[in-house]
Structure 1
Amino acid sequence: MSEFNPAVLLDPPPFPAGRVAGLADRLALLMGTSADVLLVQAEAVVALEAVAASLGRPGFKAINIVTGPYGLWFGRWLRRTGAGVVEVRAEAARPVSARAVAATLDAHPDANLLAVVHAESASGIRNPIEAILRLARERDILTMVDAVASLGGHAFAADARGADIVVAGPQKALAGPAGISWVSVSKRAWAEIDRPDAPATSTLSLCDLKRLWLDAGRGALPGTPAPLELWALAAALDRVEAEGIARVVHRHAEAAIAARDGLKALGLSPWAGPEEASHLVTAFAPPAGVDPASLLDRLKAADPEFSLGIGAGADRLIRLNHTGRRADLQVVHGMIAALAAALRP
């Protein structure tokens, strides 16, 4: 195989504002939303922080569900603004229960926001997003969903579920570039964000994006465009649309089932059962007496996409990555074969 020549990435053609507006419209359709879509020229963690920075302020109160590192960070960013944060924590590396969310909502009827991560690549779990958003709708509370990992791996229709703010990126199930992301913002979410004391002249200001992009008729990108990322996002969307988003989701579901079945065939227990599992990665705890780091070293020799889980409760788990283009039965079967070989005495 010939070595990749990075020089081909130099001097890309420009990506005009009209095309960017087209990307935003395609992303809205993909997410099932009529809300405004703002492109953020950075990895999705910046978009998440921008949401916290733009919403949070003294007197603002959020109920923040923590089932992994990103929920933990989101709460920290909100507190930095002076906002009050009530955390709903699940058992380590496990999904939250709808019952716990309902109890917290009932105990804090003055909350302005409910924030949740849909699926956690860190541990391979999935939160019960439909039930959680339904609870928020019943109480008329603003919602923020981190769908960075889940979009394309799980069915998700933002408007139908009542999600006011959704943060997403293409680098996971959509198999696109990591250097760009987006935020959808509903009209009632803008009422909380677009205010006189909102952050301005900041990378973390959603109001800046609104005024410089939406209010200006989407005629010129704020800041300096990143054409490589924009062209890559367009190519990823071309591929997703050609396959069909329903088929992309189904492919991820098939890969997840095959991974769980493969683990069970080896006498291993998947960390999450079918009702709690993400379609993106499948995690398991190594057998008693097997050192996770040593096992991982052997697995990585066969496939570098094996990895340890991230965060409390997940850091002793080993993850099988079947996200994006790896959501393929041949890839999953290869990972299971590598695992079987690595476990042989």
Structure 2
Amino acid sequence: MSPELWHPLHDTPAFPPARFGAVADRIARILNTRNDVLLIQAEAVVALEAVAASLSRPGMKVINVVTSLYGGWFGNWMRRTGAEVVDVTAEPARPITVEAVEAALNANPDTKVLALVHAESASGIRNPLEEIVTLARARGVVTVVDAVASVGGHSLDVDQLGIDIAVIGPQKALAGPAGLSALSVSSAAWKLISEEGALRDSILSLIDQKAWLDTGRGALAGTTAPLEFFALEAALDRVEAEGVSQMISRHVRAARATRAALAAMGAELWVELTKCSNLVTAVKLPEGVRAEALLGVAPRVMELSAGVGPGAEQLIRLNHTGRRARFDSVLGNVTAFGMGLRRSGVKADIAAAVDAVALHFGD
């Protein structure tokens, strides 16, 4: 290759093996856990599939909460190896109720695993994590929590809640790279994973991944992606400089400002405030306005997108995740949505919405 074609991202230096353990420890502090933390060299959906494949056994009873396509995938992954999966499915694009999960647990006393998503980026809803984990823990059920879209934007205390496996991705509230993920694993989860018939010799095998822990947390297996790890370290530097509690507060403020502005504008939230995620606000479109049509006429520079999955066809999502959880992004999103409504023939009080955003960021 000629020198003039060289790029600084080519021939990236190797990520020092001695720093992998430190990265895992920094993630453990974000999760508030002393459980083992594994680093997965892939996007978080791979980590979730690895959990399903490593836990699942023929005949194992699993309760799987489905509030989006992600929950549906998890259940199918566990069925693939013969688990008996009971899906507890919410109304389309809505959060699950504690009562529905409790009824499923009572009807299936031999349940070994319960899986759920904490917050759904697809529809902007948040499931009642604390109450559900408490129900499962009282019955000795191993819990799996998809916290990819909640970590850093919502409080997540793995040890205090007693979460057995928490899967995270750094690309959302933590504003890190998408090509890596991580998960924490409790002793109870390791016991279940290690039972006879454990998946071996597979990229999805957590038992195989555990060798990294057992041999001193040096070099990871396979070819390491150094750019992703350098980017993850930079993201963790930012997280620690800000502080996790301050980061969560920033997301709370962005969410509250967005919802107050939408209310002032005259728009309707998809779910009540206590069931919303701090990372994405979903707003219901007025009758006769289609999502793709509004997005086609709204300013395209802001973070507006359609809902994803069944039941979310008439939703618009205003994204205030990660670095977007700040005044200018929130103001731009709200204004762009209001302009999209006006251009679609719907009244929208943009001035009142702007005042509401300013009020929340006034100090």
Equivalent position to 2:323, from 322, 325, 331:
325
What is the TM-score with the length of structure 1 in the denominator? 0.96
CA offsets 1:209-255 (integer angstroms, 9 cap, x no match): 102x0111112211111100000000000000000000110111111
Deviation at 1:195, TM superposition (A): 3.3
Partners of 1:113 and 1:315 lie apart in 2 by: 31
Residue in structure 1 matched with residue 142 of structure 2 by the alignment: 142
The amino acid across from 1:332 in the alignment is V
Segments of 4+ moved more than 3 angstroms: none
Partners of 2:203 and 2:70 lie apart in 1 by: 19
- Would the aligned equivalents of 1:300 and 1:306 in 2 still touch at CA under 8 Å? no
Residue in structure 2 matched with residue 272 of structure 1 by the alignment: 271
Residue in structure 2 matched with residue 311 of structure 1 by the alignment: 309
Residue in structure 1 matched with residue 111 of structure 2 by the alignment: 111
What is the TM-score with the length of structure 2 in the denominator? 0.91
Partners of 2:63 and 2:40 lie apart in 1 by: 25
User: Unmatched 5+ residue regions in structure 2?
Assistant: 346-363
Partners of 1:150 and 1:341 lie apart in 2 by: 29
Matches within 5 A, 1:238-253: 238-253=237-252
- Would the aligned equivalents of 1:254 and 1:329 in 2 still touch at CA under 8 Å? no
Percent identity over the alignment is 57
User: Unmatched 5+ residue regions in structure 1?
Assistant: none
Residue in structure 2 matched with residue 290 of structure 1 by the alignment: 289
Deviation at 1:300, TM superposition (A): 5.0
Partners of 1:313 and 1:342 lie apart in 2 by: 21
Q: CA RMSD in A?
A: 1.3
- Would the aligned equivalents of 2:95 and 2:125 in 1 still touch at CA under 8 Å? yes
- Would the aligned equivalents of 2:299 and 2:340 in 1 still touch at CA under 8 Å? no
Give the length in aligned residue pairs.
339
Matches within 5 A, 1:29-40: 29-40=29-40
The amino acid across from 2:238 in the alignment is R
- Would the aligned equivalents of 2:304 and 2:337 in 1 still touch at CA under 8 Å? no
Give the greater-gyration-radius structure (CA): 2
CA offsets 1:105-154 (integer angstroms, 9 cap, x no match): 01100000010100000000000001001111111111000000100010
1:340 aligns with 2:346: no
Structure 2 residue matching 1:8: 3-state secondary structure: coil
Deviation at 1:6, TM superposition (A): 9.5
Matches within 5 A, 1:252-263: 252-263=251-262
Partners of 1:149 and 1:113 lie apart in 2 by: 21
Structure 2 residue matching 1:9: 3-state secondary structure: coil
The amino acid across from 1:43 in the alignment is E
Partners of 2:168 and 2:337 lie apart in 1 by: 32
Structure 1 residue matching 2:92: 3-state secondary structure: coil
Partners of 1:54 and 1:176 lie apart in 2 by: 26
Q: Describe the shift of the 1:275–1:55 C-alpha distance in structure 2 as closer, same or farther (beyond 3 A).
A: same
